[in-house]
Structure 1
């Protein structure tokens, strides 16, 4: 299996075969221990827990955003220690909306590991499908064979990123379009619950990541997503799209949805709004 999205019923069958690694990345920005507590209370059998704050992010400096990307080599070492081999199929899930799962999916692609999928509907979908539940904590178990077939770090990132300097330069000489995944209220600068400044990057367009999901909390069909992104972006798709959000997490949801829609090639601005608004002199726009 090498697909972007997997359904709970298909994951149940896949777990019966070897070579599948499942990661639980449930997380709550308002309660940083909630994800681990939820994991220990119940998780997909065999799943390993990864913490967004301490394992999937680098230390914060005050000017690099709320969830800066870790060093690629350090992240590769972490994943090898979790048992990730070059041939492993990875499935990632969160509480349900895919916001955290698509972040890890992107990070794995960033390393060069292609065989990674997101569980559509996450933990909620697994329970709804009658999936088995394991409690407690599970630690990685890395065999000698897995160690020998460990993940090889690609020389160049397989998923492109841009930094704050590139976004700033783009304001004067536009080469790409910035797509902001935050809610319309945060984009417009009406509210800002997490960062010290409200508003958005000048020239950015807004597509709240929740628009990628249907009324059941599952990803919309590729055809529907493609039509929606084409309606929003039009000719801008030919220039290139850079995704951002508050701290580089839900931006990956939009990026994932575009990949699902058959619109690959987008870049990520990892620092996103939390980095942008911390830099003195960076312009801020408000309104829709």
Structure 2
């Protein structure tokens, strides 16, 4: 699956009328930093989508730290950004990879096929000495018609049905760093450990300074997994699992789902076990 685009292609096609660039800059340590970085400089024509204000909904008892926003509200924001089914969308962040991948997954969930992630992000763009601007574009509103793709979304019940089952054919992948997976440390969530039966494949191992590693390397990261097996990826709150989802799809794995609520949702149910 073609999910990544390089900066050379984007520079060449930047001013095509059916191209829309989305800046997903964000910082988990400072929620205002992403917008500040966008205001300071961004790719010409890009509009900003914020992880917490645009790509997440209101936090409640269940659903995790970054639950899905109300779909109608998100679609309305896409329409105001001039995005419809015929728009080719290029998402980027500052080079971390996770925030752009989250936006990419959300558009895929809405059934939008023409969405790609800029390899290397804004950091790679600037290293190429490519044009930047502070201008915020004024875009013509469109109509976005969703076609929800339930095949890439995993609920808590979906995960509960396979967690810890030695006979399950579903591969559960924890995308967090090893220390959090093992429960050695947990800097964010109230409980430490991982969902029973999950294997650990840290999301950042699929990237090199913001650039996705080759398809061959991505395949080597997931040895022993049949490309046709059902895979569910998760992380802490459904953000850093998105690059693993993207890497798996790029490597030809056919059946991949994202547990969007992830570990922060899993531990919100007292009956759920942790290993």
Same fold, TM exceeding 0.5? yes
Could you tell me which residue of structure 1 aligns to residue 270 of structure 2? 280
TM-score of the aligned structures, taking structure 2 as reference length: 0.94
Could you tell me which residue of structure 2 aligns to residue 43 of structure 1? 42
Deviation of 1:51 (Å): 0.7
Could you tell me which residue of structure 2 aligns to residue 163 of structure 1? 155
TM-score of the aligned structures, taking structure 1 as reference length: 0.90
Q: Secondary structure at the match of 1:241?
A: strand
Could you tell me which residue of structure 2 aligns to residue 219 of structure 1? 212
Could you tell me which residue of structure 2 aligns to residue 142 of structure 1? 140
Query: Residues 239, 159 of structure 1: CA spacing in aligned structure 2 closer, same or farther, 3 A cutoff?
Result: closer
**Using the alignment, how far apart are the partners of 2:150 and 2:250 within structure 1?**
17
**Structure 2: 5+ residue runs without aligned partners?**
none
**Using the alignment, how far apart are the partners of 1:159 and 1:45 within structure 2?**
34
Query: Residues 53, 109 of structure 1: CA spacing in aligned structure 2 closer, same or farther, 3 A cutoff?
Result: same
Q: Secondary structure at the match of 1:107?
A: helix
Query: Which structure 2 residues correspond to residues 95-174 of structure 1 after superposition, within 5 A?
Result: 95-135=94-134, 138-142=136-140, 147=142, 150-154=143-147, 156-157=148-149, 159-171=151-163, 172=165, 174=168
**Structure 1: 5+ residue runs without aligned partners?**
none
Contact 1:8–1:120, Cα closer than 8 Å, also in 2: yes
**Using the alignment, how far apart are the partners of 1:75 and 1:17 within structure 2?**
24
Deviation of 1:19 (Å): 1.2
Query: Which structure 2 residues correspond to residues 229-240 of structure 1 after superposition, within 5 A?
Result: 229=222, 231=223, 233-235=224-226, 237-240=227-230
Query: Residues 212, 62 of structure 1: CA spacing in aligned structure 2 closer, same or farther, 3 A cutoff?
Result: same
